[in-house]
Amino acid sequence: MDTAYVYDPIYLEHDLPSHPENARRLKRILSTLEDEGMLERLRLLEPRPATAEELQRVHTPAHIEQVQRVAQAGGGHLDLDTYVSPHSFEAALMAAGGVVRAVEAVLAGEIANGFALVRPPGHHATATRAMGFCLFNNIAVAARAALSSPFPLVGGRAGDEGRVERIFIADFDVHHGNGTQDAFAGDPAVFYFSTHQYPYYPGTGLWNDTGHGAGEGTVLNVPLPTQVGDAGYAQIFTELAWPLAERFRPDLILVSAGYDAHWSDPLAQMNLSLTGYAWLEQELVRMAEQLCDGRIVFVLEGGYQLDVLACGVLNSFYAMLGENTIADPLGPSAYPERPVDALVARLKGVHGLS
């Protein structure tokens, strides 16, 4: 089966050139994938707009209507960080629907895995509010769609042709995905795992936020001090994410893929290299292969150093194709890395791993 990417030119129509989250981000990704000969190796999945029903599993009608109204009025700002341009509502519908399309294709066995190259991003958007550059929560909409799907899995575990019952969401964007956590913190069907710089925007994602009610224990927040890099992230994945994912046994893995934890990103102060990011991507693909028959979809979130962003996405495709190739033109950070031993030990205790 093919590795696929989701893309539509409408994603470039959500644009404010002076804003960090602008159309140049996706243009650079696409040009790099073409220059490296990657696009010709991939299958293009054309998105469709998310339906009202799909959006309303995550967002209130009032929020959806506000985004539409501001776009139809010619655009504006929903808060200090989050803009709407005249075509943003259409782009946001296609972004959420594009991730749903990728997930449907993976679940149906139409493709092996894929990356939804969508804009605007999504993981900060809550049920009632656009924020942090995000209008609709693309990954949450797709997760809800997968859990609501009436269609059986293709290629399930031996003897298992059941529907999606458990989804593991990994979020390695440098900012905590508060909207995604809010959507699923009380839901035992979704495990949300986030590594993020803390304290930093949006100020959520504490180590003791582990879910609530029926969802208690299905949130792993790893709030990191500045300058944590390749070794620290690898330790977190090895000692926390892997055992918790194995315990959860997902049917599908979704990834909020933000590349702003790189040491050169202008909006954060972390220490990951592209090689470190590639290792995380390879581990998530391996996790999917081991736990859910390879079903994994990456979803574009942040990342504001354009070379890093483009190479990070390129490396994700190498990982999904099962190749060890890594593009890392910037090399390792020149700064010393902070250890994470104490934080990992604390989180092991919280999650019953020690």
- In the chain the first and final C-alpha atoms are separated, in Å, by 39
DSSP string across 131-195: BTTBSS-HHHHHHHHHHH--SPPSS-STT-------EEEEE-SSS--HHHHHHHTT-TTEEEEEE
Active site residue 124: yes
Sequence-distant (≥ 6) Cβ neighbours of residue 322 within 8 angstroms = 285
Q: Beta strand 83-84 with 76-77: parallel, antiparallel or unpaired?
A: antiparallel
Q: What DSSP designation does 239 have? A: I
Measured at the CA of 146, the angle between CA 145 and CA 150, to 5 degrees, comes to 90
Q: Whole-angstrom Cα distance, residue 303 to residue 22?
A: 11
CA distance 309 to 303: 5
Spot the catalytic one: 14, 63, 123, 124: 124
Residue 280 DSSP one-character state = H
Of the candidates 26, 45, 18, the residue with the CA atom closest to the CA atom of residue 112: 45
DSSP characters over 218-238:
-EEEEEE-TT-BHHHHHHHII
Query: In whole angstroms, what separates CA 77 from the centre of its chain?
Result: 24
202 DSSP 8-state letter: T
Picking from 197, 67, 191, 196, the residue whose alpha carbon sits closest to that of residue 127 is 67
Is residue 100 within 8 A of residue 50, CB to CB? The reply is yes
Nearest C-alpha neighbor of 132 from the set 185, 172, 83: 83
C-beta separation of 220 from 194 below 8 A: yes
How far apart CA 298 and CA 91 sit, in angstroms, is: 18
Give the residue numbers annotated as catalytic, written as ranges.
124
